[in-house]
Chains A and B, each alone.
Chain A
Amino acid sequence: MTGRPEREIAALRAQLQGERGPRLWRSLEEIAESPAFARVLGAEFGGFALPEAGRRDVLRAMAASILLAGLPGCGKGPPDAVLPRVADPADDPPPDRPRQYATAVTFEGFARPVLATTYAGRPVKLEGNPDHPASRGATDAFTQAAVLELYDPDRSQSPTLLGKESGWDQAVQAMVTARRDWLRNGGEGVRLLVEPTTSPTFRRQIEALRQQLPQLRLHAFEPVGKERREAAARLAFGRPLALRYALEHAAVVVSLEDDLLGPGPAQVDHALGWSARRRGGHDAGAEAIRLHVAESTPTLTGAMADTRRIVPSARIPALVAVLAAALGRDGAPAAPELSADERGFVSSWASELRAHRGEALLAVGAHQPPEVQALALRVNAQLGQLGRTLLASEPVVWPGAEAAGTLQELVADMAAGRVQALVVLGANPAYTAPGDLDFTAALQKVPWRLHAGLHRDETAGFCHWHLPLAHPLESWSDARTVDGTATILQPTVRPLFGGRSVHEVVALLAGDPWARDREIVRATWRDRLDDDAWRAALRQGFVPGTAAAPVGDLAPSPAPIGLPPAGGDRGLEVVIRPDPSIWDGRFANCAWLQELPKPLTKLTWDNVLLVSPALAAERGLATGDVARITLGDRELRGPVWVQPGQAAHTVTAHLGYGRKRIGRVGQGIGYDAYAFRASTKPWLGTGAEIAATGDRHELATTQPHHRMDEYRPVRLVAPGKALEARPEEENQASLYPDWDYPEIAWAMVIDLDLCIGCNACVLACQAENNVPSVGKHEIGMGREMHWLRVDAYHDGDPLDPSFYFQPVPCMHCEKAPCEVGCPVNAAVHTPDGLNAQVYNRCVGTRTCSSYCPYKVRRFNWFEYAKPAEPIVAAHYNPEVTVRARGVMEKCTYCIQRIARARIDAALEDRPLKGSDVITACAAVCPTTAIRFGDRNDGASEVARAQKSPRHYGLLEELGVRPRTTYLARIADQGEKGEG
């Protein structure tokens, strides 16, 4: 089809937008009569004429079929020139089989390399790219949710002018006009606000744009960015650097509020390294990685630490200074006074770090003042860790401080009236700017404002023009992982909602409205990649040899580093952190992430103020009480959550909630911590007060009880020791005969020593198995649908507890109580040992769930799976039944993958092997804590794990013989001792 009718059809379809029922048919009639449609028909079927009689009906029917049925199908297939990932390029998979595309989605500008599985042109699941060194098949939870983000019907669907829907033609027109003014004075007064990115194409385009408009100024802003870490690198080494930890080479890590294993761009990287070292250590009897953490608010890193010390966040600089003085040779500031307790652990850490010179690491949180981080970097350099556990390379993220101004400067200029035009690309400063900047007031002084983003968000609401951006899964782009390796992002589907890629928008700014994102990206790589290499990179999912060049022979700058003045001791400190589930708020409209239980609290659909049990007792606060925090003239109201392990006088507030404009899912829930944030001290406020307001707020958590009582589901073992068998666990008699598994017996072993509670498995399971989200009210009632949950427990003194995670999928018991209870044979045992649930057969007596000792079964109390809008249903995995109201469901060990592997094996005429199948949770796990396979095969990982001295079954004394089992967590004190 030529270009012109295509555009006419788009225009005609636009007329039908939003029409339903009889109105739709009337509109169709109008269209059928219109000259535009006649032109379309003429172009498609030249010389086509209809008799006058019945002509209207025929035309109307044709209009319906072309506009409603045929073309949306044509419009949404995979775009041209994308390359599926197949072993042999000639071996194109048949249309009923899924295709996988190696591409990436982005997070804070960094690439998350993935394989996108698409069915009939619809991406439904992202797997980590197993060939990519920064993934090895794993992803984090955010990456798993990108599919739902793609199909979010609340995404911006057309350009808007002053809030009213407009079209791309008008937007292009407006840009051309605006550019004419800009070119007149070289872009004086034109500002561009971007999020830091790793895309070489974006950088090339912006640099080209600055050639055209030399006076144009660039500003960069990332609300949870690493600019303090960059500043620290400049302080310590006198030049900008990308810094990365190589935990796989570390024997001792001391982390001072650096959430290495927590969510963030480097989570997968760190988890891969840490687990490789920890696992290798314990299993091979070598020295395992030891992790020491000091922090004010519990994190995943603290939960997995060998020792965890609770200190106020404001105390970290002093600890670093003392450590630096103890370890460093020069340039350390005068060590401040420490308490006896602090002196004790700091000196023991110092000696451990010294003893492991070259394979130790001192990590300080990226939110700490640059001077503090710089001190730590210098200590690492002095201990010879550069190039071993601390990798320095040329910067990966652009623009750094050299190339771009800050948000503060932009606001100052806007307020002073020096900005004539502002273009915001992707960022959402109207929401994320610190409250004391008053960004929106300054913004309104700018005469011409344009915003491009995925959603019509807060910033879009304050701009004249808003342009919808295409999702990374529907556009061409490029991006780099934390190590710098570049991935070409190829679209897996054409833009669903008429968005354009950010590259096309930048091209528009540069006066080239016709440029297509593929050509723009290809042009960037033309020099490096010839056509063959380009195709290979697309298939492979990354461009080999693009890792950032390491910077050798770095000399720590000898300049002394002074500590920033310590805050007053009076009052409370308020630490501000990104939300573990929706980060800085960018994922607020993703129901999967809103409903993803936060790792330690298991809270959903809200943010809270974390307070310690001591503070709660002191101020008469209880979980769910609404409290008011005052700090100077700033005030924050939010519900309290009493969090064991929190520093006594530290309150933690999370960013990302309180959104005013994003969509139906994320709008108007939680409190907005950005408004409370200070631009100079964005992460920590000292001297705050907290008081109850007397109000209560309903909080929805999936796990109301976190304390391990008498029964200990998570077992501990001292290093090198074996678990003591529980008394009743041997050979319980059963009335029913044992099952016989002549071929394969699937089993899963979960290593609790490696599980960091990151929730990637929960979301991978949700995406793979069409698990619906149910909303806050249903969660509050206890009706969450997650097939796999990660239980979080704490144990010991509530003021200083130990934390444990335990992923709990279905146990697939040998003697399954559910199978006995079901009256209609809907819960049945398969010949390969699964405990299957036949949805078609289920009548919903719920006996199986009543009998289940693990309560892993989930019931469709309502028609949960019905999507809010038809487009959302496109994310459903067609291999998995979408469950109707009134049936029970649960973990199936991804039976669709087993079935697929069995079919493939049969086609290839070979027996099915255990290694042919991996469940979604096991595939995504960044620490390889979840292992799945055939336990009949003695060489398989699960069979070996089942022989481990750390092996045990949850509630095995009940005699149900679970086939999902666990390896005990290793702790110095083992099972008996505590604390």
Chain B
Amino acid sequence: MAAASPPRQRRIYRLPEGHEFRTVTEQVAAIPLHYPQRLRWWLGFIGSSLLLGLLIVSAAYLFSEGIGVWGNTIPVNWGIAISNTVWFIGIGHAGTFISALLLLTQQHWRNSLNRFAEAMTLLAATCAASYPLFHLGRPFFFYWVVPYPNTMALWPQFRSPLVWDFFAFATYITVSLIFWYIGLVPDLAAVRDRATRRLPQVLFGIFALGWRGSAVHWERWRRAYLLVAVVALPLVVSVHSGVSLLFAVGQIPGWHTTVFPPYFVLGAVFSGFAVVIMIAITLRHAFRLYDLVTRRHLELLGLWLLATGWMTAYGYLADAFMAWYSGDSFERGTLLDRLAGPFWPIYWGAVICNFVPLQALWFPRPRRSSFVLFVIAFLVTVGMWFERYMLVISGLFRDFLPSSWGGYVPTFWDWGIFFGLIGFFLFFFFLFVRFLPAVSMFEIKEAVWEEEHDT
């Protein structure tokens, strides 16, 4: 893709004086080999380990006692377990979006973001996929959702969106893992070559798959990488569409609407970008990667956040408008519950966190400020959590018959699983930045080279 005709764009990567390609590699490869911030890393790692411990305790208690330890009821028999699935898988969207879509459209500024964004995707998708398992009444039979030859001669029930979701999740996690690993191989080889101790040499050597950097390697690698990117791209749309259909297929007011698939997908990319921004800023400062993750990167991310935020806002408007325009008293009732009923703090919390601070990103200064961007991204993450909660719970708690209205209050064990899964995410993310090249070295060098030779 090099010499063809990359679109003219402003230069993003500018290596400072004294830097050359070699120093890029040294800077990034030094992280797994000679970890710089040991004390901070240990503090963070221990903190996330404690949260992971909470997950283990909560899950053990859940499995020994039953779903009843959560706050779920009839009618709200899906609680934050399901809303968090939606939230986590939404976060998991930005990785593939950045990696695959921007790769195929030759937005090479993505090259310093894609590696950790993909790691984030993998972990968030794993969290999302584990939630339905926790949430099953009989989790030991989860595999009945899988079509496999069995003595009962039974298939899953293919009309169920849950089965679609199983396929969507399984495909998404598999493809994301392959894509991430393929992208890692040249960098693993680079770290292998710089390792001085035996153990890293062997381990990185094994996972580098004998990469020698020959032209044939590169040629095949690129073909594989693009191919998987093409496969991954539709998944960005399909996964969250599938998740949204889990709701839209049910005839529940507030769920039963055709706007849901795009509404969910856009919200997913929106929340995913927010988390990518938080991670990028954290890594940038932790490892002083100011040359690799530049202010221009932050600015571009900010613009993306603004754009996807507005698309999500359109989803809100369309959803509310259709509820009103349908004239259906139940749909209107649910809309009222959200706007002015018991769910108003959640609804308006989502609207305010998602869209109000976001508007600062129309202006260049806040876009370039790490701090402001981080705060906005954090609020969006929280706001999107509110939104998922609002969509799932407010649909269920009052559906049709006044006699079966009910309420829902999450218990300690609901939160235990949620914060435990955040701990799971952080735990493995800490391991990732500690032991793997968190930024793609060769792709940055490629981008730098292209920019230098293009201008």
Contacts and interface: CB of A to CB of B under 8 A. Distances in A.
Contacts of A783: 68, 73-74
A806 B402 CA distance: 12
A781 interface: yes
B137 A887 contact: yes
A703 interface: yes
Contact of A859 (B74, B142, B160): B74
Contact of B403 (A808, A850, A853, A955): A808
B77 A854 contact: no
A708 B74 contact: no
B71 to A, nearest CB: 7
A859 B249 contact: no
A783 B399 CA distance: 17
Interface in A677-724: 703-711, 713
Contacts of B400: 711, 853-854, 955, 958
Given A781-B71, A782-B75, A855-B75, A958 B401 contact: no
A713 B401 contact: yes
A817 B251 contact: yes
Contact of A853 (B76, B138, B251): B251
A958 B331 CA distance: 12
B244 interface: no
Interface string B69-82: 00111111110000
A887 B415 CA distance: 23
A850 B77 contact: yes
Contacts of B213: none
A857 B74 contact: yes
Contact of B402 (A705, A819, A850, A960): A705
Contacts of B396: 850
Contacts of B330: 711
Interface in A794-830: 806, 808, 817, 819-825
Interface in A820-848: 820-825, 841-847
Report whether over half of chain A's contact residues are helix, strand or loop; otherwise say mixed.
loop
Contact of A824 (B65, B66, B144, B406): B144
B113 interface: no
B137 A823 contact: no
B203 to A, nearest CB: 39
Contacts of B333: 710
B77 A791 contact: no
Chain A CB count within 10 A is highest, among B66, B402, B403, for B403
Nearest to B155: A825
B329 A843 contact: no
Interface in B327-350: 329-330, 333
A791 B137 contact: no
Interface stretch (A177-185, A205-213, A645-653, A860-868): A860-868
Contacts of B137: 842-846, 859-860, 885-888
Interface in B363-406: 396, 399-406
Interface in B153-169: 154-157, 159-163, 166
Interface in B296-332: 329-330
Contacts of B72: 846, 861
A806 to B, nearest CB: 8
B360 interface: no
B65 A862 contact: yes
Interface in B117-156: 132, 135-139, 141-142, 144-145, 154-156
B407 interface: yes
> Interface size class for chain B?
35 or more
B250 interface: yes
A793 interface: yes
Contacts of A462: none
B252 interface: yes
B406 A704 contact: yes
B154 A825 contact: yes
A793 B403 CA distance: 8
B136 A713 contact: no
Contact of B67 (A707, A886, A958): A886
A614 B141 CA distance: 55
Contacts of B251: 817, 851, 853, 958, 960
Contacts of B141: 824, 843
A440 interface: no
A195 B238 CA distance: 72
Contact of B250 (A844, A851, A887, A888): A851
A713 B403 contact: yes
Contacts of B66: 860-863, 885-886
A368 interface: no
Nearest to A736: B159
A847 B162 CA distance: 8
Contacts of B402: 705-709, 711, 713, 793
A820 B248 CA distance: 12
Nearest to A886: B137
A711 B139 CA distance: 38
Nearest to A824: B144
A789 interface: yes
A824 B157 contact: yes
A870 B424 CA distance: 42
B138 A886 contact: yes
A315 interface: no
Contacts of A792: 403
A703 to B, nearest CB: 5
Contacts of B160: 820-823, 847
A902 interface: no
A858 interface: yes
A850 B135 CA distance: 14
Contacts of B138: 842-844, 884-887
Contacts of A705: 402-403, 405
A120 B175 CA distance: 59
Chain A CB count within 10 A is highest, among B74, B137, B142, B405, for B74
A485 interface: no
Contacts of A847: 160-162, 246, 250
Interface string A588-605: 000000000000000000
B82 to A, nearest CB: 9
Contacts of A823: 144-145, 156-157, 160, 162-163, 166
A960 B252 CA distance: 12
Nearest to B75: A855
A299 interface: no
B408 to A, nearest CB: 8
Nearest to B164: A823
Nearest to A713: B401
A858 B78 CA distance: 13
A769 interface: no
A885 B402 CA distance: 28
Given A817-B251, A855-B75, A825 B156 contact: yes
A849 interface: yes
B345 to A, nearest CB: 20
Contacts of B77: 846, 849-850, 859
Contacts of B68: 778, 783, 861-862
Given A843-B138, A845-B132, A887-B138, A858 B250 contact: no
A846 B67 CA distance: 11
A778 B70 CA distance: 12
A395 B252 CA distance: 58
Given A706-B402, A824-B144, 8 more contacts: A704-B407, A824-B156, A844-B136, A845-B135, A846-B78, A846-B137, A854-B401, A886-B66
7 contacts: A781-B71, A822-B157, A823-B157, A845-B135, A850-B252, A859-B77, A862-B66
Interface of A: 703-711, 713, 778, 781-784, 789, 791-793, 806, 808, 817, 819-825, 841-847, 849-851, 853-855, 857-863, 884-888, 954-955, 958, 960
Interface of B: 65-68, 71-78, 132, 135-139, 141-142, 144-145, 154-157, 159-163, 166, 246, 249-252, 329-330, 333, 396, 399-407
What 5 A-B pairs are tightest by C-beta distance, nearest first?
A844-B137, A886-B137, A861-B68, A782-B73, A823-B162
